[in-house]
Amino acid sequence: MNPALSSVKIKSAPAGAGVIDKAAPNDVTAAVCIDAATRACRRIAPLWPLQHFVAVNPFLGWSDRSFTAACQWATRSGFGEMLMPTRFYAQQYRSGRIRMADIEQALALAGSSVSLQQCLDALHDARPEAANQAPACWPTMADHLDAETGSAWAGLITDEISKWCAAYFDEGQSAWRMPWRNQPLYSAWRRAAAFDRTPELAGIADFRRCIATLPESPAAAISQILAGLGVADDRLEDFCQRQLLTVAGWSAWLRYKTWPAEPAQAATALLELLAIRLAYDYALYIRVAQPLELQTWRLRWQASAVSSDAVAEDSLQIRHALQWAYELAGQRSLLARLASPPPAAKLVPAERKVLQAVFCIDVRSEVYRRALEAVSADIETLGFAGFFGFPIEYIGLGHHHGQPQCPVLLQPKFRIRESVAEADVGDLRKILEKRWLNKRLNRLWKGFKHSAVSCFSYVEISGLTFAGKLLSDSLGLTRTVAKPGSAGLDRAVVQRIGPVITRQRGRLIANGPVVETGIALGERIELARKALQGMSLSDGFARLVLLCGHGSSTVNNPYAAGLDCGACGGHSGEANARVAAAVLNDREVRAGLAAQGIAIPRETWFVAGLHDTTTDQVRLFDLDQVPHYFAADLAQLQDWLELASQLSRRERASALGLANADAKALGQAMLKRSRDWAQIRPEWGLAGNAAFIAAPRQRTAHARFDGRVFLHNYDYRQEGDGAILNLIMTAPMVVASWINLQYYASAVDNRRFGSGNKVLHNVVGTIGILEGNGGDLRVGLPWQSLHDGQALRHEPLRLSVIIEAPAAMIEQVLDSQAEVRQLVENRWLHLLRIEPDDGRCFRYGGHNAWQPVSLDPEEF
């Protein structure tokens, strides 16, 4: 409980309209109310804004409970479905994907209370057109009145709160700003409510006077309302959670606003929104609900705490077991690919290669890595988190602050600014002044186009002058807008922009504050050492080492950041790759590394690159800084990349409906997709992700995973204390789980955990989207990112994690990292390991127990 709120007293409402005059069955204290409300707020997962959209585990607040318990709570409370309908598993069973042996094993692993025969009966009885009927959820007052009287209070309340939050949190989309933005959310809403007649017109008599009687403190208001509604003490947390779920999107946004604050601080922010939502139910309770309706409402809450529907409970248990069986079937396919050639074969480190290419562990990189390795036996690829171990804030040219270029679980530790190569102070000033002038003119022009006075006349007079641009944009020949990083700059200048890694102090903009940017030498050496060790690349360096980040090209797409690099905070990995390459090419850094036992040969050079996952083009950076004696190597690299790009496009073509195109036409078609402002599926992103493997590349090099596996290089022999494995399991593995569970949830229940139909999206305040013109802020992924119109492109599977390391090392991480242990022990993911010495596979069974898993190809 937040100590600042523990002393709150429930204030009696003044005499007159709005006083609670309906008998409440209990007398709850303020401390109990706020404690329950605070616990409910801590269950909310954050929602990142569109500009930095990253995958988030929507069940983040429930990781301390088992997956089974979360499924039960979600079904009862209206949180959302966490399992597919029985008809889905029946289809998988009829197709042969799920076998009877899978169901038997699933029942044993899940500790299910249902029998094999019950599962088989459910599969045989499931009709293709039938769907599971979820039990009635715990109702808010608005839900209950809607069910009893046919009203639409729940929708109205959600719309009203969403409309208010959109105006309050707007980040520049609206031309006219709300006058109360300088006040706390609840206080601002309470003042606006004094003028808002919408609820009264809808049928809540004296709504404004009713709200005026509430305390000015949100904590006191929550306490007063909860005490008045008469919800039992042991149901208060569920009741508050249910209230927040009616505006789940805005609740998630407020959780992000306080991320990564302490739980008490995050709860304090959410309490303001909870107070607003409760206030509407409070008004319905006083002014609309009849005594009999109140009685039945309270009985539903009391009954749901002590009773459950046995049939519904068995149905849930059956679906849970079938989900396990479905995932075991997926693991069988995955392990079959690892089993040939036999995993017991001696893993011999490869000879020194001509090229080593380090890619992000993103599943899309797996396709390109295989393609690049297929081009030449002289190429070795490695997998590492796409920020390359450099947690930076990257400040673009002409800006005074930047964006985090690191996983959202981390905080940037260094500021890196951009500058223009070979530009003196005067040249740089002229470049910046030109950019600022162009941006100001563009801002004025945009304001003129969207103003209430000029918008119609502007279209009437000058619309035809844009016909050429409109046509070329529509055909995908040009981009609809310039890329933000190059807006207002000449092409020649753009080619000279790059990061400055050395420590400097100065102003980033005219009249701005003096700030410190860059990285000190000692810190550069330490970052370089950790990055190389994390890549398992401390010796055997190739002549060229490519550090290849990734990003996506798309236009008119609110979810564009979701297609970029999650390890870079929802941005392109270009900045991190260039910074990492610059640091590793630094002579002083190399000297410092050599003193620590990592000797990078003089004839090794690090090259930064960017893989465009929409077009499969790879762009190389800072080639003017490469010594001349690498000219032939660079030419060879570019030839190899072009061949790999063609192979990767060919593999991806069928999923994009381009299977019959030749190499040239395929390249042009994918480029067109990246520029098409009507394209709802520029690429498939991380759809299909199913597993995370941390092992030497020799273990997986022979296998084709079809872009479904996060591949992280890891060789336990290169460390003695387990620090690298600890980092892998607490950062990349957790991030992969976040991604997996977001895709899982969006596929299982897109209405609750996804964002619906992409065609209907409307951007709100530049921070999120509504589906249509009202409703709650949507979370998760649009349906078009998961489904191709015929079938799901993403299979809803919990992540299977496979680590090649001794059991003791993995258990050491689980014992020291409580949050990681929760993910594993509570079955939010599956953990398997490969014994390095003999290649045997084991499944984690809980409490540091391991069960053998067969890798015999004949059993697959």
Q: What is the mean pLDDT of each run of 10 residues along the chain (860 residues)?
A: 36 38 62 93 93 93 93 85 95 96 95 93 76 62 94 96 93 75 92 92 94 94 93 91 95 90 70 97 95 90 66 88 97 87 50 92 98 96 96 90 91 93 78 74 64 59 66 67 64 86 86 89 97 93 97 93 95 97 98 96 97 97 95 97 97 93 93 91 96 95 95 91 94 96 97 95 93 94 95 97 97 96 97 93 95 69
Q: In this structure, which amino acid lies at residue 373?
A: E
Last residue of a domain, one of 486, 513, 540: 513
Bridge partners (DSSP) of residue 803 are: 694, 833
Q: Does 461 share its domain with 360?
A: no
* 45, 441, 445, 767, 773 from 451: Cα distances, Å: 37, 15, 10, 21, 21
Q: Does 546 share its domain with 595?
A: yes
CA gap 270, 254 in Å, rounded:
6
Say which residue the tokens 């260039």 belong to.
578
**DSSP-assigned letter for residue 565:** B
Instruction: Identify the helix (H) or strand (E) that includes residue 550.
Output: strand 544-551
Last residue of a domain, one of 625, 644, 670: 670
Q: What total of structural domains would you count in the chain?
A: 4
Residue 483, pLDDT score: 63
Instruction: Answer whether residue 758 is part of any domain.
Output: no
Residue 181, pLDDT score: 83
Cα radius of gyration (the chain): 29
- Between strands 709-713 and 761-764, the pairing is unpaired
Say which residue the tokens 């391991």 belong to.
850
633 is in an annotated binding site: no
Instruction: Answer whether residue 772 is part of any domain.
Output: no
**DSSP-assigned letter for residue 571:** B
Q: Which domain holds residue 160?
A: 3-65+136-308
Q: Does 543 share its domain with 660?
A: yes
Residue 838's CB is within 10 A of a number of other CB atoms, namely: 8
CA gap 329, 49 in Å, rounded:
36
Go through 372-382 and write b for each residue having 16 or more CB atoms within 10 A of its CB, e for each that does not: bbebeebbbbb
Q: Does 504 share its domain with 601?
A: no
Instruction: Answer whether residue 340 is part of any domain.
Output: no
Q: Does 406 share its domain with 382?
A: no
Instruction: Answer whether residue 765 is part of any domain.
Output: no
Residue 468's CB is within 10 A of a number of other CB atoms, namely: 10
Residue 221, pLDDT score: 96
21 is in an annotated binding site: no
| Two structure tokens written together for 132 | 């599971």
Cβ-contact 102, 321 below 8 angstroms = no
Q: Does 543 share its domain with 473?
A: no
Cβ-contact 634, 366 below 8 angstroms = no
Residue 513, pLDDT score: 85
Last residue of a domain, one of 458, 480, 513: 513
The residue length of the chain stands at: 860
Strands of 276-435, DSSP E: 355-360, 379-384, 392-395, 403-405, 414-420
Instruction: Answer whether residue 774 is part of any domain.
Output: no
146 is in an annotated binding site: no
Q: Does 373 share its domain with 414?
A: no
Q: Does 365 share its domain with 273?
A: no
Instruction: Answer whether residue 110 is part of any domain.
Output: no
Cβ-contact 329, 102 below 8 angstroms = yes
Instruction: Answer whether residue 703 is part of any domain.
Output: no
Instruction: Answer whether residue 296 is part of any domain.
Output: yes
* Sheet with 849-853, side-by-side order of all strands: 709-713, 691-695, 800-804, 830-834, 841-846, 849-853
DSSP 397-461: TT-SS-EEES-TTS---EEEEEEETT--HHHHHHHHHHHHHHHHHHHHHHHHHHSTTTHHHHHHH
Cβ-contact 415, 504 below 8 angstroms = no
| Two structure tokens written together for 668 | 């042009």
Q: Does 536 share its domain with 662?
A: yes
CA gap 653, 705 in Å, rounded:
16
* 109, 291, 669, 835 from 851: Cα distances, Å: 10, 58, 48, 12
206 is in an annotated binding site: no
Q: Does 290 share its domain with 150?
A: yes
Q: Does 463 share its domain with 524?
A: no
Q: Does 205 share its domain with 280?
A: yes
